[in-house]
């Protein structure tokens, strides 16, 4: 559930229709409809505060509820699997997780950037000594390096 569906839920709880919210906030009905239908995840702060005022919702509580909904707990099998792997495996998982986290943060900070598929994973190399992160493509091993002659 995104912000749009949470907004719909709050409107239903208060018994407010889209047309009423539109009129009270000055936000076009088509905009509100699109927010709900597309289940938006981003909203301008001014629009958010107008909506909260009309719905008589504390903006901080509304946002906290949205964040709580967006957080997904790890399935127990993930934790079991992580605990079952050795130190080398944990280092690999931690490295991938950190690189993916950095990629997602950089994408969310700059909406115009396109994700660079494959770049994150091509930097990670596992070998007998553990996991290493390669900084440049020249440092990356060739496929033939993994096969015996």
d(CA 117, CA 130) in angstroms, rounded, equals: 24
Six-digit token pair at 51?
């909506």
> What pLDDT, in 10s, does the model give residues 35-87?
999 988 788 889 999 999 999 999 888 888 888 877 777 787 888 898 899 99
CA distances from 106 to 67, 94, 114, 133 (A): 19, 18, 10, 18
Six-digit token pair at 102?
């950095």
pLDDT at 62: 85
What secondary structure letter does DSSP report for 38? T
Task: Please check whether residues 52 and 86 belong to one and the same domain.
Answer: no
Domain around 81:
76-146
pTM score above 0.75: no
Task: Please check whether residues 116 and 56 belong to one and the same domain.
Answer: no
Number of domains in the chain: 2
Task: Please check whether residues 19 and 45 belong to one and the same domain.
Answer: yes
Task: Please check whether residues 105 and 136 belong to one and the same domain.
Answer: yes
């Amino acid at each position: 559930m995104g912000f749009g569906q949470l907004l719909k839920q709050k409107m239903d709880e208060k018994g407010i229709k889209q047309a009423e919210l539109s009129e009270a906030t000055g936000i076009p009905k088509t905009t509100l409809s699109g927010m709900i239908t597309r289940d938006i995840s981003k909203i301008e702060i001014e629009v958010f505060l107008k909506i909260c005022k009309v719905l008589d919702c504390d903006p901080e509580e509304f946002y906290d509820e949205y964040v709580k909904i967006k957080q997904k707990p790890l399935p127990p099998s993930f934790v079991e699997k992580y605990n079952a792997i050795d130190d080398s495996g944990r280092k690999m998982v931690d490295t991938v997780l950190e690189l993916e986290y950095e990629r997602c943060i950089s994408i969310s900070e700059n909406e115009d950037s396109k994700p660079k598929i494959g770049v994150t994973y091509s930097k990670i190399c596992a070998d007998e000594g553990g996991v290493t992160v390669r900084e440049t493509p020249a440092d990356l091993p060739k496929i033939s390096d993994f096969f015996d002659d």
